[in-house]
């Protein structure tokens, strides 16, 4: 069977190339698209992710503001920081890096983000809009998965998509986006029984579990498309890549699959938000 390796770097480059002119036009009009990232605590992986996002902005001529708060930060202090960014007209997108330390009410903090600046689709309102099919900014990893399918012209309508994971930033919104595109969607989670049997029915498999090499090769129906959103220590995905390659018709590698596209979608959403702010003024 012919295999297609779904190259996320290629997809990300095409997204970023499509943004260059838009960023230049905004700058000519006196607006530099700006993403503010908030990191609470000193988790090294989160720090790496935030730095990658900031660098990607700057590479494209956008601005990035990095706010690093101590691990002792309270919910109230974080809310104050978010409020200031909400009120700052030079900031177009706000990204609160997940996870935050346990003393913080993460949902309250996410929901404090102004919907116009919710470029990672983390607010309850933004999620609701995504689920209803008119969200401007779905979460970036689900948006990246949809972008990869679109770029490689992989049909979604009428296909059975099985999503493994139901987190608010990944499993649930990607299930909603696939449903909006007329897939028949099954969302699995830690209490799902007969997981292997359900995955075996899938035309499209989305792995969003957070467990290295979790999806097994013999769960994959011949010809299925496999998208691995997982990113575990040591650059290992949630899919046992070599084993799942055998039956799949198309598959994302880790690294170089969903990850780079996620960052490019964050940039796109921030540029979209900057353009919207121009229209509003």
Active site residue 97: yes
Does residue 121 interact with ligand NAP by CB under 6 A?
A: no
- Token pair in block for residue 113: 């983000």
The dihedral through the CA atoms of 278, 136, 95, 73 has a sign that is positive
Most distant CA pair in the chain: distance in Å? 56
Does residue 54 interact with ligand NAP by CB under 6 A?
A: no
Active site residue 136: no
Among 16, 166, 268, 269, binds ligand NAP (CB under 6 A): 166
Residue 203's CB: how many other CB atoms inside 10 A? 19
Contact string (CB under 6 A) for ligand NAP, positions 172-191, x = contact = ----------------xxxx
Which is the catalytic residue, given 7, 16, 117, 120? 120
| Dihedral angle over CA of 97, 253, 173, 247, nearest 10 | -160
Task: Map the footprint of ligand NAP across residues 204-263, applying CB under 6 A.
Answer: 208-211, 229-232, 238, 258-259, 262
Does residue 101 interact with ligand NAP by CB under 6 A?
A: no
Binding residues for ligand NAP, total number by CB under 6 A: 26
Judged by CB, which is closer to ligand NAP: 184, or 192? 192
Which is the catalytic residue, given 7, 63, 97, 238? 97
Contact residues: ligand NAP, CB under 6 A: 141, 164-167, 169-171, 188-192, 195, 208-211, 229-232, 238, 258-259, 262
Kindly list the catalytic residues: 53, 97, 120
Residues contributing to the annotated binding site for NADP(+): 165-167
């Amino acid at each position: 069977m012919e295999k297609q390796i779904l190259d996320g770097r290629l997809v990300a480059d095409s997204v970023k190339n499509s943004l260059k002119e838009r960023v230049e036009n905004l700058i000519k009009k006196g607006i530099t698209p700006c993403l503010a990232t908030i990191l609470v605590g000193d988790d090294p992986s989160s720090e790496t992710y935030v730095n990658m996002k900031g660098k990607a902005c700057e590479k494209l001529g956008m601005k990035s503001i990095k706010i690093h708060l101590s691990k002792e930060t309270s919910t109230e202090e974080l809310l104050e920081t978010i409020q200031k960014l909400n009120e700052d007209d030079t900031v177009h997108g706000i990204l609160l890096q997940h996870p935050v330390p346990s003393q913080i009410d993460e949902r309250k903090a996410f929901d404090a983000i102004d919907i116009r600046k919710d470029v990672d689709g983390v607010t309850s309102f933004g999620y609701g809009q995504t689920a209803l099919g008119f969200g401007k900014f779905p979460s970036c990893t689900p948006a990246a998965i949809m972008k990869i399918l679109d770029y490689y012209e992989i049909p979604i309508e009428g296909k059975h998509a099985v999503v493994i994971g139901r987190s608010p930033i990944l499993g649930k919104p990607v299930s909603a986006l696939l449903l909006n595109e007329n897939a028949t969607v099954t969302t699995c989670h830690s209490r799902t029984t007969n997981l292997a049997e359900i995955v075996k029915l899938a035309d499209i498999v989305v792995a969003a579990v957070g467990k290295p090499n979790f999806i097994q090769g013999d769960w994959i129906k011949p010809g299925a498309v496999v998208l691995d959103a997982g990113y575990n220590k040591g650059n290992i995905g949630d899919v046992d890549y070599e084993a799942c390659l055998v039956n799949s018709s198309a598959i994302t590698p880790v690294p170089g699959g969903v990850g780079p596209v996620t960052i490019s979608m964050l940039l796109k959403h921030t540029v979209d938000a900057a353009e919207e702010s121009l229209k509003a003024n």
